[in-house]
């Protein structure tokens, strides 16, 4: 009598399979609807807009800090400081006045051009980017610093803005000279 139901029909495997598939279908539809309502959840590193913001902040900074006139440093400092965290801004202001003021007699005007920026890592409140910068100077017979720079730039998010927290020169090894191709048979 265990096999009988109240309507008199026995429970069959086919009926159990149909009920199981119906329950599974309802669960799949509910899960699909929940995913659609919730929307995609992207980690900060894969968010294209965040990566673009980091790239843009790095490019603005690298261009600004490498574009200056040693005879007029106040506008230079005022242009770069807002891009920096508070601690780095203080260090920058002191070092700029001391270092670049020594070259006022040369009247060097430098122009930085960012060739490329690559985002190395991003999370919710920090990022690391790599920047390749070319610097030209006027007068062109005076070279101040390196004409080509590679920097590792560390950024932090403060509110909706990415600020530069640290930056350092990255040394680039020159490509090794390849051995000449010989025509000798071995």
What secondary structure, in 3-state letters, does the chain show? Answer: CCCECCCCCECCHHHHHHHHHHHHHHHHHHHHHHHHHHCCCCCHHHCHHHHHHHHHHHHHHHHHHCCEECCCHHHHHHHHHHHECHHHHHHHHHHHHHHHHCCHHHCCEEEEEEEEEEEEEECCCEEEEEEEEEEEEECCCCCCCCCEEEEEEEEEEECCEEEEEEEEECCCCCCCCCCCCCCCCC
Kindly report the pTM of this predicted structure: 0.67
Any domain includes 155: yes
Task: Give yes or no for a contact between 157 and 49, defined as CB atoms under 8 angstroms apart.
Answer: no
What is residue 1's predicted lDDT score, i.e. its pLDDT? 46
Range of the domain at 131: 46-169
Beta-ladder partners of 164: 84, 155
pLDDT for 64 beyond 80: yes
- Number of compact structural domains in the chain: 1
Least confident of 7-21, 137-151, 167-181: 167-181
| CB contact set of 67 (below 8 Å; sequence gap of 6+) | 76, 110, 111, 112
Confidence of residue 183 (pLDDT cuts 50, 70, 90): very low
Any domain includes 176: no
Any domain includes 68: yes
Any domain includes 32: no
What is residue 9's predicted lDDT score, i.e. its pLDDT? 66
**CATH number reported for the structural domain that contains residue 81 in this entry:** 3.10.450.50
Any domain includes 51: yes
Any domain includes 90: yes
Any domain includes 16: no
Any domain includes 182: no
Summarised one tens digit per residue, pLDDT across range 147-178 is: 788 999 999 999 999 999 999 999 866 655 55
């Amino acid at each position: 009598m265990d096999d009988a139901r109240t309507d008199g029909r026995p429970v069959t495997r086919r009926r159990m399979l149909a009920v199981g598939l119906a329950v599974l279908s309802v669960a799949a539809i509910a899960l699909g609807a929940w995913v659609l309502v919730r929307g995609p959840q992207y980690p900060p590193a894969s968010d294209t807009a965040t990566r673009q913001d980091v790239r843009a902040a790095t490019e603005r900074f690298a261009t600004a800090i490498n574009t200056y006139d040693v005879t007029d440093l106040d506008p230079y400092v005022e242009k770069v400081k807002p891009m920096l965290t508070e601690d780095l801004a203080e260090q920058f202001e002191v070092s700029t006045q001391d270092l670049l003021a020594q070259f006022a007699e040369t009247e060097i005007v430098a122009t930085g051009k960012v060739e490329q920026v690559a985002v190395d890592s991003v999370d919710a409140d920090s990022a690391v980017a790599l920047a390749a910068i070319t610097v030209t100077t006027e007068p062109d017979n005076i070279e101040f610093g390196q004409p080509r720079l590679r920097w590792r730039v560390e950024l932090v998010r403060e509110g909706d803005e990415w600020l530069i927290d640290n930056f350092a020169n990255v040394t680039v090894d020159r490509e090794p000279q390849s051995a000449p191709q010989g025509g000798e048979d071995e």
